[in-house]
Amino acid sequence: MSPITFVHDIIDRALEFVKLVQNREIGWQTVDRKTGQYKREQQPILKKLKLLFLFSPVMTWLDRTHLLRLWIHDKTIEAGEREASKRSASQIQPFVEFYGIDMRQFHPSSIYDYRSFDDFFIREHAPGSRPIYKPDDDSAAVVVADSRVVVYPTLSETRKLWIKGRNFTMEELLLDRARAKLWNDGAIASFRLSPQDYHRYHSPVSGTVTGFKAISGEYYQVDPLCLSSDVDILTRNARCCIEIETKEFGRVLFVAIGATDVGTVKISDKFRTEGAVVKKGDEIGFFQFGGSSIIVAFEKDRIKFDEDLLSISRQRIMVDVEVGMSLGNAISR
């Protein structure tokens, strides 16, 4: 490579980096499933710097009491409470413009019909904007949220490549040793929702509710940076666990994990009731303000995830997906 070419390449990379920072494209690398384009998640720069500091190996070792992370947590709760005020409605328009949110996909479509930012945050989809993949075929599971997803055929592979918390096991996630055995080393789909996403979530399968459990806890951030640290984010945060019995997939576990705002996980009464019949695509509940996460676990050898999701996940890259997209098919027995 000639000196001129080398300098030109450095300048190009520097300009590209500046552009990414200007657009706040500093989050985890993702692939848009619809277009196949690689990009980075948009995030506030100050937030990213805080996370880099608080969940660094050195700080994790020093802050044995977790006081610094809890201080950030408390400050974020206060911010979440402000988002519920009527004055916060003024934040909606610049938010929509910055993140390029297409309001035609939501109901109501006018930003002026929302009373507060929190009201806008839990907006609903417009009818028909998220078609369900093979709605009459219960052997095909679907994506549960507008989000970024990683999938792995075994829990051990998930821990090896993605979730690094010291105590991330199904038993710790459920706080129930007997039930956790159903999903020991089963397949895992992990969905991460960013603040700009639609924050309602839906059932991946059709079946019958056979269990519900609400678990209190903290509200740490669920950024991939945090999940890759030694802090047990997913087993320390508040969460709601729903067990769905299906003919095609066996028992399926749906865990909505809160982050940022106290009381953020809201589950519809239907999904709290054993014996309730659910259809894939049914709305399960919603998250209030803050990035949040969902884990869906399948029994071992009961689902074959779509190949594109598997291959990209193994590169430690997340896939941008929408509610109702194909997730995988049941393995016949």
242-260 residue pLDDT tens: 999 999 999 999 999 876 5
Residue percentage of the chain with pLDDT more than 70? 67
Domain ranges of the chain: 3-121, 131-330
CATH fold label, 131-330: Glucose Permease (Domain IIA) (2.70.70)
Active site residues: 146, 202, 292
Instruction: Tell me the CA end-to-end span of the chain in Å, nearest whole number.
Output: 57
3-class DSSP assignment, residue 91? helix
User: Greater confidence, 149 or 80?
Assistant: 149
User: Greater confidence, 66 or 296?
Assistant: 296
Write down the pLDDT at residue 77. 61
Write down the pLDDT at residue 201. 96
Q: 191, 225, 222: which is closest to 322 by C-alpha?
A: 191
Confidence of residue 132 (pLDDT cuts 50, 70, 90): very high
Six-digit token string for 11: 């300048």
With beta carbons less than 8 A apart as the criterion, state whether 244 and 212 touch.
no
Say whether pLDDT at 49 is over 90. no
Of the candidate ranges 125-139, 166-180, 252-266, the one whose mean pLDDT is the lowest: 252-266
174-229 residue pLDDT tens: 888 888 899 988 999 999 888 889 999 999 999 999 999 988 766 555 555 454 55
Write down the pLDDT at residue 261. 43
